[in-house]
Amino acid sequence: MNSKKNKSPSTHGSNAITEGAQLNDNKGASREKLPLSGESDAEAQIEQKFNAELWREQVIFNPTLISSQKLILLVLSYAFDEQGRCETTQEWIAERTATGVRLICEHTPILEQLGWYSRKRKRYSMVYIALRGREGS
């Protein structure tokens, strides 16, 4: 799924092959650029750059979201990195939204079902991967 191999040759064409080889040699970098077997389609989207401003605009002008859901999504927009990923806890979100963990626990699965992000549980935290806020989303 490496989009660099599918692009027409350019001045960086030889670098794309070299970078691809380096990504395959380095498993950590490979996780950032190429989806590994068993990863979800959501993680395959991280090749598209995340745009926090676009995300915030989509949140603010969405008439179907209630205020607490908008607040959660806006706080997450500041936590996402340039690939649209963040690793955080529900306590961290609750603290920044000035709400309770119970409210966060209630709304985060709903927002995931609505297609705003996908979540993957880690030992003590959750990894959020933005599905919106990308060009074409």
Question: Do 70 and 99 have their domain in common?
Answer: yes
pTM of the model: 0.65
CA atoms within 13 A on the CB side of 33: 17
Tell me whether residue 135 is in a domain: no
| Interval 44-67: pLDDT, tens | 555 678 999 999 999 999 999 999
Tell me whether residue 85 is in a domain: yes
| Interval 75-123: pLDDT, tens | 999 999 999 999 999 999 999 999 999 999 999 999 999 999 999 999 8
Tally Cβ neighbours within 10 Å of residue 38.
6
Which amino acid does the sequence have at 71?
L
Tell me whether residue 108 is in a domain: yes
pLDDT of residue 127: 93
Grouping H, G, I as helix, E, B as strand and the rest as coil, residue 73 is helix
Tell me how many domains the chain contains: 2
Question: Do 30 and 52 have their domain in common?
Answer: no
Give the domain extent around 23.
Answer: 3-34
